[in-house]
């Protein structure tokens, strides 16, 4: 009888997003497509309202994706963090994360807010925040459906692929 080493559990990447005008959703979906490219990592894409602490605990890495609303992360992503923070605190230390921001201006404050929460969770940032600026500045432009360009979506795809690849080979 041949001995077979026990199979290591497949790694899971959790992508949590909120999107009102579909810009952030497109970015999150591109990251998911990249992460699924080689099939070695399970990828879960969840709207922020559907994700909770059990999803955070079950994942090995994370992508947090949000629009910039009034210079901050969206209220729904903040609500996800509010509902999940203490249930995952001290239980996910060292896991990798990245963030995607769909911004009308610079997106920096939304990125800082996510980074502060991730620091509290003791997560490891594995990529600089990927900020796509739509330059939407009027009420009409801000509320209009977004179409993210192919070049920006490719960057989101590449981020997902890199994060999944790192999880798959144990770099993170």
Residue 2 lies in a domain: no
pLDDT at 94 > cutoff 60: yes
Name the residue among 69, 11, 1 with its Cα closest to residue 36.
11
CATH assignment at residue 52: 3.40.50.360
Query: What is the rounded distance in angstroms from the CA atom of residue 140 to the CA atom of residue 33?
Result: 30
pLDDT at 25 > cutoff 80: yes
Mean pLDDT throughout 103-113?
97
At 138, the pLDDT band (50, 70, 90 cuts) reads: very high
Residue 4 lies in a domain: no
Residue 3 lies in a domain: no
Burial of 37 (0-12, 13-18, 19+ CB in 10 A): middle
Domain enclosing residue 19, as ranges: 12-169
pLDDT at 7 > cutoff 80: no
pLDDT of 51 reads 98
Residue 82 lies in a domain: yes
Collapsed DSSP state (helix, strand, coil) of residue 100: strand
Q: How much of the chain, in percent, has pLDDT values that exceed 70?
A: 95
Mean pLDDT throughout 17-27?
98
At 4, the pLDDT band (50, 70, 90 cuts) reads: very low
**Full-model pTM:** 0.95
Mean pLDDT throughout 83-102?
98
pLDDT of 5 reads 40
Domain count, the chain: 1
pLDDT at 15 > cutoff 90: yes
Contacts of 19 (CB under 8 A, 6+ apart): 25, 26, 28, 65, 67, 102
pLDDT tens by residue, 28-71: 999 999 999 989 999 999 999 999 999 999 999 999 999 999 99
Residue 7 lies in a domain: no
* Structure tokens, 163: 């994060």
pLDDT of 8 reads 66
pLDDT of 9 reads 85
């Amino acid at each position: 009888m041949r001995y077979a080493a026990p199979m290591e559990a497949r790694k899971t990447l959790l992508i949590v997003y909120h999107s009102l005008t579909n810009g952030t959703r497109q970015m999150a979906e591109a990251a998911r497509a990249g992460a699924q490219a080689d099939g070695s990592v399970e990828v879960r894409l969840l709207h922020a309202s559907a994700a909770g602490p059990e999803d955070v605990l079950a994942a090995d890495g994370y992508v947090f994706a949000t629009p910039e609303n009034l210079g901050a992360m969206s209220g729904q992503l903040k609500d996800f963090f509010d509902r999940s923070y203490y249930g995952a605190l001290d239980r996910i230390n060292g896991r990798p994360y990245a963030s995607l921001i769909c911004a009308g201006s610079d997106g920096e404050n939304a990125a800082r807010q996510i980074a502060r929460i991730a620091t509290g969770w003791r997560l490891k940032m594995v990529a600089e925040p990927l900020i796509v600026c739509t330059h939407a500045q009027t009420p009409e432009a801000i509320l209009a459906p977004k179409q993210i360009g192919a070049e920006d979506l490719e960057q989101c795809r590449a981020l997902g692929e890199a994060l999944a690849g790192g999880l798959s080979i144990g770099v993170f």
